[in-house]
Amino acid sequence: MAVQNIETLRLWLRLSQSEKAVSKAIRESEAPFLGLLGETLTKDMRVAMQQAIAADPSVAGYVSLLESHPALFSVNLAWHVMHGMGESGHFSLYPHVRKALGMTHEPGQSERELLWAEFRRCLLVLGLEPSPQTSGPLFMVNEYLRQAGVPVAFDGYQCGWVIT
């Protein structure tokens, strides 16, 4: 039992130190999108994030991580979206979200709404401007695309692609 507590404490410490570093990078960055800050994530940060995500690979688990480490896990989510967009040759957002969250299935609509609301809250906490759109067609998708740096003019809705 003590070994697990020590490992949990070490993980928390690594995540907290990483959160401070990424928060500083966001404050000092001229990059307008979180996805571009994914390059600031070191190998140690990525390993710590993967361990934390693996402890509860669900939307609720990721929302909890966003609540406790908004900079670190917002950048991670935006980075996954940024790197995944266009990989398959068609517009597909939620498989990249699923990958960031460590899930084996794509989130359902209520889970998508929960994740979007927390991601949006993180943007505000970090001093970033979220999309003014909070309803209507693809409002959640547009929020992720904005932070991934995908121009809205080229998103799947505008191009007639199917959102999956």
Q: Is the pLDDT of residue 158 over 60?
A: no
Q: Which alpha helices (DSSP H) does 69-153 contain, by range? A: 70-84, 94-101, 109-125, 139-148
Highest mean pLDDT among 22-36, 69-83, 126-140: 69-83
- CB crowding 101-137: b at 16 or more within 10 Å, else e: bbbeebbeeebbebbbebbbbbbeebebebbeeeeee
Q: What is the pTM of this model?
A: 0.86
Q: By mean pLDDT, which of 44-58, 106-120, 130-144, 149-163 is the weakest?
A: 149-163
How far apart are alpha carbons 57 and 92 in whole angstroms? Answer: 20
Contact yes or no for 133/142 (Cβ under 8 A): yes
Contact yes or no for 103/54 (Cβ under 8 A): no
How far apart are alpha carbons 76 and 88 in whole angstroms? Answer: 20
